């Protein structure tokens, strides 16, 4: 199993020195714009399914996260999903299921970038609901709660906004 860099070079996951990390992020899962489900393209299935096991051979305590979004993701797809209650629920449920099925310890959101105050408020709503669903799933499954991280955007235009609408 190998990682492919932006210039097309390959790097075997087994060559990652996971002993120097506490967390490793595997990027990127995709958001299906029709279903609002988090998906894995067929070319990444093998990489995702063995990522955690492979890096934990050298460091059994390293935590792995599955990231979604990134610079190649369509920001309007994320914005539309975050703006609608049913879309958020579908996304949240599928992301938790996908992370569990591939043995990741958490999820990372890389939304580049919410572009309005409304999108920032919707991001706050998404994160609040996502965290609540992670806690509920943990209580139901008896498993450790998934870690939730996000690469967030800062702009002085939005500095007075909170990431929560409560």
Q: What is the CATH number of the domain that holds 140?
A: 3.20.20.80
What integer pLDDT is reported at residue 65 of this predicted model? 98
Residues classed as catalytic: 112
Q: Does residue 166 lie in a domain region? A: no
User: At 8, phi and psi to the nearest 5?
Assistant: 85, 0
DSSP lists the bridge partners of residue 142 as none
Q: Does residue 59 lie in a domain region? A: yes
What integer pLDDT is reported at residue 133 of this predicted model? 99
- Give all strands (DSSP E) within 41-151, no chain letters: 63-69, 106-110, 147-151
Q: How many domains does the chain have?
A: 1
Contact between 85 and 91 under an 8 Å Cβ cutoff? The reply is no
> Positive or negative CA dihedral for 33, 84, 135, 139?
negative
Q: Does residue 19 lie in a domain region? A: yes
Sort strands 106-110 and 23-31 into parallel, antiparallel or unpaired: unpaired
Q: Does residue 163 lie in a domain region? A: no
pTM over 0.85: yes
Tell me the mean pLDDT per 10 residues along the chain, length 166.
62 91 95 96 90 97 96 91 98 98 98 88 96 98 98 65 52
**By residue range, what is the domain housing residue 57?**
2-158
Q: Does residue 13 lie in a domain region? A: yes
What integer pLDDT is reported at residue 4 of this predicted model? 59
Q: Does residue 153 lie in a domain region? A: yes
What integer pLDDT is reported at residue 90 of this predicted model? 98
Q: Which helix (H) or strand (E) holds 88?
A: helix 85-101
């Amino acid at each position: 199993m190998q990682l492919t860099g932006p210039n097309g070079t390959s790097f075997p996951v087994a060559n990652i020195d996971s002993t120097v990390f506490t967390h490793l992020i595997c990027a990127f899962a995709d958001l299906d714009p029709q279903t609002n489900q988090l998906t894995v393209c067929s070319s990444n299935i093998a990489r995702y399914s063995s990522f955690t096991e492979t890096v934990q051979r050298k460091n059994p305590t390293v935590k792995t996260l599955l990231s979604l979004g990134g610079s190649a993701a369509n920001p309007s797809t994320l914005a539309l999903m975050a703006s609608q209650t049913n879309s958020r629920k579908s996304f949240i449920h599928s992301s938790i299921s996908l992370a569990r099925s591939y043995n990741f310890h958490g999820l990372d959101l890389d939304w580049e970038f919410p572009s309005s105050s409304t999108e920032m408020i919707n991001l706050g709503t998404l994160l609040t609901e996502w965290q609540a669903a992670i806690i509920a799933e943990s209580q139901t499954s008896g498993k450790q709660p998934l870690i939730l991280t996000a690469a967030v955007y800062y702009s002085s235009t939005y500095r007075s906004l909170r990431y929560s609408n409560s």
